[in-house]
Amino acid sequence: MQDPILKNSASLTHLDAKGQAQMVDVSAKAATVREAVAAGQVRMLPETLAAIQAGNTPKGDVLATARLAGIMAAKQTANLIPLCHPLPLQKVAVEITADPQLPGYQIQATVKTKAETGVEMEALTAVSVAALTLYDMAKALEKSMQIESIRLVSKTGGKSGDYLLPDS
């Protein structure tokens, strides 16, 4: 009986003919402008949100540090995710917005390049590391914070076309 992974490996670009993981060869693809937006959130107690907004935290500027960490992480994605291509990023923007209704912070990352492959993983990595850094910077105030709903919101460019998260 043939292994179902091997049977479908022709359509799974990250698997070779033997079913082993491989980095996709994108050398024949044209470099085009590609952009991805990812989002996530960090839920916390209202008191923790108030302390961060007031700048009353033991480790310093939580939001600036988290924003910078997200930008730096996007640039290191190929070193973190085994089959990602190193890409020349032209734009990485990380926005962190207080959300009293959550309560907590909404995080959004936008990443843009002109390359042979997309930047979805870079945007998702930026959000993830920004959220982890926010947690690290504020964990002395609250250890029960929750990192939630990290997701791709949209992407443009490339062979597979555009994507927009439903209900965005």
Q: Which residues are catalytic?
A: 136
- 72 belongs to an annotated ligand binding site: no
Whether the bond between 103 and the residue before it is cis, its omega within 30 degrees of 0, is yes
Report how far apart, in Å, the C-alpha atoms of 28 and of each of 25, 34, 116, 153 are.
8, 17, 8, 28
- 83 belongs to an annotated ligand binding site: yes
- 23 belongs to an annotated ligand binding site: no
Q: Determine the 3-state secondary structure of 72 from DSSP.
A: helix
Backbone φ/ψ region at 51: left (φ over 0), alpha (ψ -120 to 50), beta? alpha
H-helix or E-strand spanning residue 152: strand 146-156
- 121 belongs to an annotated ligand binding site: yes
Which candidate, 151, 91, 132, 145, places its Cα nearest to that of 115? 91
Sequence ranges of the binding site for substrate? 83-85, 121-122
Sequence ranges of the binding site? 83-85, 121-122
